[in-house]
Amino acid sequence: MKQKRFLLEESELPREWYNIQAEMPTKPMPAIHPATRQPLGVDDLAHIFPRECCVQELDAEHAWIPIPDEVLEKYKYYRSTPLVRAYALEEALGTPAHIYYKNESACPLGSHKINSALPQCYYAKQEGTTNVTTETGAGQWGAALSYAASVYGLEAAVYQVKISMQQKPYRSSIMRTFGAAVTGSPSMSTRAGKDIITRDPRHSGSLGTAISEAIELATTTPGCKYTLGSVLNHVALHQTIIGLEAERQMQMAGEYPDVVIACFGGGSNFGGIAFPFMRHKLSGEKQTEFIAAEPESCPKLTRGVFRYDFGDEAGYTPLLPMFTLGHGFKPANIHAGGLRYHGAGVIVSQLLKDGLMRGVDIPQIETFEAGLLFARTEGIIPAPESSHAIAATIREAEKCRQTGESKVILFNLSGHGLIDMTAYEQYLNGDLVNYEISDDEIAKNLE
Ligand SMILES: *Cc1c(COP(=O)(O)O)cnc(C)c1O
């Protein structure tokens, strides 16, 4: 019998996260304060985020950051997640490639987001915070944060993009199940929200409006901190638990990946699986290829430019050096809501600039074709975001079929799609479309 599934014993779980910043050949350029134009320090961020997260955000010195015991205890409820050899998918593709996936859909709430929600809430609790707030679009991050807040006895307030709240009603029920207060954004509960509604009474909300409201709540409420589910360095740091486990599990399988693939929104699940393997490329031991799969309709890695830009629509955040389509970019309404973000995290942007990884952009319909094949072969319905990684994997496996090479491909299954069935329904009914974007449109946004 061929072994399909690899799990770690509790005693084998990683006890440190990997901070790639410390070992990058070119360190990321600093985030800049929009008013003073000076590089940001911990004190510029600590009124918004838990202080320990700010320290981690700016740490370019320590390669290994201990996971607090209290977080490790919570990780043990669900980690390790399985590493699976996708024999059935390989067979369906007729490829000599060996395909493995790290199954983060087995995490509580069904995606990798909980891996960072737990430490962020833990650090908030440690410093005496009583409340946490955040924004959410499709709801994966909001759900993970709501659960993590309840684990550490914090009150959570989540601003959810109003249109998503209406289109995907069960997402807010999930957050409320864990005790979070959920408000549709824009709302009348903040100044930013009131201003937006005054200007446009029928505004249906965006991540930009929700971020603005959550930051305002955090900075005007004593004992309240803001949390973010992607893009920032400390979030990718927490997610390296994925790749560190996968490295040990690949050893159990007796293989090492030639290609590592993940879908790309802000970069947290990509960094999570890729960075631990990339350290062996940085040291010259391995030649692994790293591929980040983004939507054709939101192609910041493949068609964006590298420059300083804001992280949000309103321009409240620091200026970040990143690959971006412009902070005013309005991505098409694809079903992979978690990938509809205009910019890439600072670390990944530098790695891309240095040629240590590459991006690939994939049309929506191809991602659903890939998702369906994966569901039918491996028995897991993938999140529309994760289907981008599957589609990129299938492209690589197809190349192997043509050349006869038996490469080892590892991809991250960032989440399951059981709360995305309206998207599958549309695909199955033949109602789904692709959204191409012209060079002119991209150029106009970057002006
Ligand atoms: C949020 C999300 C993503 C995208 O975010 P990253 O920070 O780029 O990982 C991908 N997949 C799932 C399932 C998500 O919930």
Rounded average pLDDT over 54-67: 98
- For residue 268, the ligand 1 atom closest to its alpha carbon is 7
Query: Two tokens at 315?
Result: 């321009």
Strands annotated E in 247-295: 259-263, 289-295
Give residue-wise pLDDT tens across range 158-191: 999 998 888 887 899 999 999 999 999 999 999 9
Cα-to-centroid distance, 370 and ligand 1 (Å): 17
Residue whose CA is at the smallest distance from ligand 1 atom 13: 415
Is residue 336 over pLDDT 90? no
Place of tokens 């008013």: 35
pLDDT for residue 205: 87
Query: Two tokens at 216?
Result: 């305002």
Give residue-wise pLDDT tens across range 273-317: 999 999 999 999 999 999 999 999 999 999 999 999 998 777 778
pLDDT for residue 100: 98
Give residue-wise pLDDT tens across range 110-130: 999 999 999 999 999 999 999
Cα-to-centroid distance, 69 and ligand 1 (Å): 26
Q: Check whether the bond before 80 is cis (ω within 30° of 0).
A: yes
**225, 265, 21: which is closest to 119 by C-alpha?**
225
Q: Write down the pTM of the prediction.
A: 0.97
How far apart (Å, rounded) are the C-alpha atoms in residues 147 and 70?
A: 16
How far apart (Å, rounded) are the C-alpha atoms in residues 151 and 147?
A: 6
Per-residue pLDDT band at 338 (split at 50, 70, 90): confident
Residue type, 421: M
pLDDT for residue 406: 97
Cα-to-centroid distance, 230 and ligand 1 (Å): 8
Place of tokens 């995305």: 420
CA atoms within 13 A on the CB side of 48: 21
Give residue-wise pLDDT tens across range 205-245: 888 889 989 999 999 999 999 999 999 999 999 999 999 99
Provide DSSP, 97-116: SEEEEEEGGGSGGGBTTHHH
How far apart (Å, rounded) are the C-alpha atoms in residues 310 and 325?
A: 11
pLDDT for residue 1: 67
Q: Check whether the bond before 186 is cis (ω within 30° of 0).
A: yes
Which one has a higher pLDDT value, 363 or 337? 363
The answer to whether residues 410 and 259 touch, using CB atoms and an 8 Å cutoff, is yes
Strand-pairing partners, residue 132, are: 156, 225
Q: Could you give the percent of the chain with pLDDT greater than 70?
A: 100
